[in-house]
Each structure stands twice: as structure tokens, then as C-alpha cells.
Amino acid sequence: MNYIKDMRELIDSNLLMTVGCGIILEKDSQILLQHRKDRDVWGIPGGVMEPGETFLETAVRETHEETGLHAENLQLFGLYSGTEGYAEYQNGDQVYSVQIIFHTQQFSGELMQEGEESHEHRFFSPDELPKINFHQERFVMDWANNASLPILK
């Protein structure tokens, strides 16, 4: 199933609301980030919920697809909404995404370096963060600043 693709065939580039789910994977006080192939930015693994999925299922599935890692014992990190959720892509597609972000330090598997959506994956400490995807900057910076959880924005 590819909900976004199916909806785009119906509504073209008009505004589409989505639910995105991601996981902050932390190891030794460092966050795992992926370097995107479509833009020169970094962000956490995650993606869009498909109909019938739970927030947790979406976050775990997307993280495994993008990193090869199996995340466990997820805790709610934050709920993100507001104007920062709007994006217009180069092809003209408009989207407004509400983000449900989880956090864990428990994961297993072998980390893939390159996937369909990313060039590489790397762990970063809060004081050495690279250029972060604008739409994910809020939660990455909340992590780096040890914000009180859960975050509701």
C-alpha cells in the first residue's frame, strides 16, 4: 500500500494532511541521524503512517526500512504540529504533517549505511549536529536541549 501515491493521483499537488512517525535512536548520549538523498540535510528515521497502522507500528516499520535496526521499548518523546508542519516540495506537492516522535535507547540489528532514501547514517552528539532537515529541527533540538517530556507543540 502507498497511501501518499494513491492520494496524489486523486488530488494532484493540492494540500494533503499526513501523520508522520519517527524515532530518536540514542546511544551513548548521541542521536542517530540519516543523510537524505533528496536534499543535503540530516534527520531522524521515520515516515508516513499507512491506513490501519498504529503510531508505534509506523515508527518501527519506517525505522527498520531506513536503517535496518529493530527499535524496542519506545517512549513518547513529543507531539508536533503547527506551521512548521507545512511543506511544498520541488515538484509542487503540498503537505501538512503532524509528527508523533518516539525515543529509545534499545535497538538491535546491523545499521545500513545507504538505503533508498539516505546516503549514510551516523551518530552525533548534541554539540556536533549537522544541517538538520527544517521539518525535523524542532524535535532534534528538543533532544539536544534535554527538553522535558513529553513535548506537546
Residue 102 belongs to domain with CATH number: 3.90.79.10
Of 115 and 69, more confident: 69
According to the model, what pLDDT value does residue 90 have? 86
pTM tops 0.85, yes or no: yes
**Active site residues per annotation:** 120
What domain count does the chain have?
A: 1
According to the model, what pLDDT value does residue 8 have? 95
Judged against a pLDDT cut of 80, whether residue 10 lies above it is answered with: yes
According to the model, what pLDDT value does residue 117 have? 77
Judged against a pLDDT cut of 90, whether residue 106 lies above it is answered with: yes
CB 44 within 8 A of CB 123: no
| Domain interval for residue 130 | 3-152
| Nearest Cα residue to 48 out of 104, 5, 93 | 5
CB 30 within 8 A of CB 44: no
